[in-house]
Amino acid sequence: MLLIENVPGATPVDDISGLIPTHITTHAELNEWEAANILKAARKYLAIRKKRHISIDWLKQVHKDMFDESWNWAGKFRQKPLSIGIDWHAIPEQMKMLVDDIAYWEKEKNVPGILEQSVIIHHRLVKTHPFVNGNGRHARLVADIYLFDHDHKLPIWPDNELIKETEIRKQYVSALRTADKGDYGPLEKFTRELI
C-alpha cells in the first residue's frame, strides 16, 4: 500500500490504480521514481534545439515521455473531475486554444517576449490541469523546451522544494494564483529569478 502525504496546492494522489512499478510503497519512493522518468524525458527534449511544431499530440507525448514508466495513464487527458483544474470536458478546447496562441506567436512580430510566452504557456497548462497528475512538472518542462528552442536561458527549478510544503512552493503557488487573475508579473518574476 502506498503511503501518500498530499501537499497543499498539489493534485491529490488518491488513486494509485494506474501505478506501474509495484515495488513503491511511499510517496518519497514515488517522487524518486518519477524524477528518474522525468529526467530521461528532459534529456530527450533538451538535447537538440529545433523548430518544434507544438500540437496537442506533442503536448501529450511530452507528458507520456515524462511518466510512461510511472503511470499507465501517462500522456492521456484526464476524464474525471479534480479538486483543481478546469472541467475535464473543456480540456481539449483549452489545449487547442493554447496551441493556436503559440502558433500565432510564432508568426507575429508584435507579441510578448519569449520568456513571457513561456510563462503564459506554463500557467495555462497548470490552470487547465489536463492530466491526472504531473501537471506542474509537465508545464515547467514544456516551458523549458520552448525557451530552449528559442535559444533562451533556462530557469533552474528547485524541484525538491516544489514537491513539498516549503516557502518557495508557497511563492510559486501564489504566483500561479495571481496569474489566474490575469497578472503574469509575479510568475514571470519568480521564473526570471531562477535563470
Helix axes 135-149, 27-45, angle to 10 degrees: 20
CATH of the domain at 105: 1.10.3290.10
Residue type present at position 160 = N
Note the pLDDT tens digit of each residue in 163-183.
Answer: 888 999 999 999 999 999 999
Instruction: With respect to residue 13, please indicate whether it lies within any of the assigned structural domains.
Output: no
pLDDT band at 28 (very low <50, low <70, confident <90, very high): confident
pLDDT band at 8 (very low <50, low <70, confident <90, very high): low
pLDDT over 60 at 3, yes or no? no
Note the pLDDT tens digit of each residue in 108-146.
Answer: 988 899 999 999 999 999 999 999 999 999 999 999 999
Instruction: With respect to residue 70, please indicate whether it lies within any of the assigned structural domains.
Output: yes
pTM over 0.75: yes
Separation of alpha carbons 91 and 93, rounded Å: 5
Instruction: With respect to residue 20, please indicate whether it lies within any of the assigned structural domains.
Output: no
* Mean of all residue pLDDT scores within the chain: 92
Q: Can you list the positions of beta strands (E) in the chain?
A: none
166 SS3 class: coil
Instruction: With respect to residue 2, please indicate whether it lies within any of the assigned structural domains.
Output: no
Nearest Cα residue to 161 out of 174, 152, 153, 170: 170
Q: Which domain holds residue 35?
A: 27-192
Instruction: With respect to residue 10, please indicate whether it lies within any of the assigned structural domains.
Output: no
- Number of domains forming the structure of the chain: 1
Place of cell 496537442: 56
Instruction: With respect to residue 187, please indicate whether it lies within any of the assigned structural domains.
Output: yes
